[in-house]
């Protein structure tokens, strides 16, 4: 059964699914669709052309679907789409897209956005990611799946962070980060492979070994990047895990250092 606190404001045009709970002093705008089983604890604002899936939890003072912080934005009806089973903690802000960036900000399923995280316009976040407290994504950032960004991370615009990446706290990420990497720093540097994360996701010992060797060749050998990629391709090109690493490098060449 849907429960709406008497102090909440649900504007005409908003669409609420079944079993939604909306707590004190929340506001849901006229262009918002909220899926079944979502919970807005208190003082939550859902705004703009925003579509939200099922069983998401929004903690106090989160502001979701706000106007992009882009001087070129001119009140166009751009979008924010959020999947299911995400946890949005207190003070989180997520902005909808811009026309120049494709018109849509997207968050997938089962992500945890900790306190005061900011997701800017035209970002695309996959599934099962963790963004620790005070982390900020600039516009047009892509996070793949199972990424963990440490507290107080900043990611520069137009960059991509691959799946299973783990970053240390207070890192400034100014380059694309390939899958499986772990690192830290201002500026961010890849230090190794996220072995703990791979084990938790049931990667085989063989796959982890192949990933370790591919990373060593690319980052620690004296080969130039193109030579290193050729060696990795010849040695491990049939490995699905290494193939994902190679495909990431090829697809992001020219769009930021690795």
For the annotated catalytic residues, the residue numbers are 121-122, 139
CA separation for the pair 188, 150 (Å, rounded):
12
């Amino acid at each position: 059964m849907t429960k709406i606190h008497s102090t909440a404001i649900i504007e005409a045009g908003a669409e609420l699914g079944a079993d939604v709970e909306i707590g004190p002093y929340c506001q849901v705008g006229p262009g918002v669709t909220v899926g079944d089983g979502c919970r807005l604890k208190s003082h939550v604002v859902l705004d703009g052309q925003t579509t939200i899936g099922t069983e998401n939890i929004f903690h106090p003072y989160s502001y979701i679907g706000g106007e992009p912080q882009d001087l070129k934005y001119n009140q166009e009806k751009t979008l924010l789409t959020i999947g299911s089973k995400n946890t949005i903690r207190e003070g989180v802000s997520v902005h909808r897209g811009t026309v120049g960036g494709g018109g849509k900000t997207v968050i997938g399923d089962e992500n945890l956005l900790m306190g005061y995280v900011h997701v800017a316009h035209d970002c695309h976040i996959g599934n099962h990611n963790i963004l620790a407290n005070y982390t900020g994504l600039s516009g047009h950032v892509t996070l793949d799946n199972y990424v963990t960004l440490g507290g107080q991370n900043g990611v520069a615009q137009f960059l991509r962070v691959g799946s299973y990446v783990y970053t240390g706290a207070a890192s400034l990420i100014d380059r694309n980060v390939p899958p499986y990497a772990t690192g830290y720093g201002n500026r961010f540097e890849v230090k190794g492979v996220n072995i703990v994360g791979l084990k938790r996701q049931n990667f085989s010992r063989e796959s982890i070994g192949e990933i370790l060797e591919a990373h060593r060749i690319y980052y620690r050998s004296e080969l130039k990047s193109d030579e290193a990629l050729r060696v990795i391709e010849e040695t491990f090109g049939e490995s699905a895990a290494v193939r994902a690493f190679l495909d990431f490098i090829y697809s992001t060449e020219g769009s930021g250092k690795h």
